[in-house]
Chain A
């Protein structure tokens, strides 16, 4: 099956710093989503991005489907950005495969 890798596994940032999270996937996929799981366990949709670039405030994402990777950019990080960031790929028949996540801690 499709393998999804994320890097780095853990990241500690000073508030205000920028960061880039990476998601690699091993085969062609129909779609890709980025999620944020906050410290209370809630899963929040960030982007639905099969290809191209999208921006939402301080966050942006780029997917290059032909090269099988996606990047999530966080600019001017805030403590509320802390949590785990997952990328998930949509393989055939809506099977969503989640990556292992990047755990982000933003310290004041």
Chain B
């Protein structure tokens, strides 16, 4: 069955380190998204992509970057991890714009 996966599921890192969170989908969806979920803020959009080589900034993109080298993957990189980036990160994908987004299981990141 087609699915969307994230790895790692849990990560502990130190302030200042570079961290990359993986997202992989097998639906051949064009669109992929990264969100973070924090108490008091709900889910907020970090970056999104409409296809290979396309990336766009979302609501809270500072300190994060993404790249889209193929249809299946959209890795999220924290260039220099900060304690404020401790959060739960969700990846999502959709076939085309305007259609439902399907979410991965999430990655819990703790920055010490």
Contacts and interface: CB of A to CB of B under 8 A. Distances in A.
Main secondary structure of the interface of A (DSSP, over half): strand
Contacts of A96: 33, 35, 43, 45, 101
A7 B35 CA distance: 23
Given A95-B58, A96-B33, A90 B45 contact: no
B103 A43 contact: yes
Contact of B94 (A30, A43, A94): A94
A94 B100 contact: no
B105 interface: yes
B100 A43 contact: no
Nearest to B58: A95
Nearest to A95: B45
A86 B98 contact: no
Listed residue (A35, A41, A44, A86) with the most chain B CB atoms within 10 angstroms of its CB:
A41
A45 B31 contact: no
A83 interface: no
Contact of A31 (B45, B88, B98): B98
B106 A101 contact: no
Listed residue (A98, A99, A101) with the most chain B CB atoms within 10 angstroms of its CB:
A98
Nearest to B108: A41
A98 B33 CA distance: 14
Given A33-B101, A48-B99, A94-B33, A43 B42 contact: no
Contact of B100 (A45, A86, A95, A98): A45
B43 A45 contact: no
B74 to A, nearest CB: 14
B53 interface: no
B97 interface: yes
Interface string B41-62: 0111100101000001011000
Interface of A: 30-31, 33, 35, 41-45, 48, 86, 88, 90, 93-96, 98-101
Given A48-B100, A94-B33, A94-B50, 5 more contacts: A31-B100, A93-B97, A94-B94, A98-B43, A98-B44
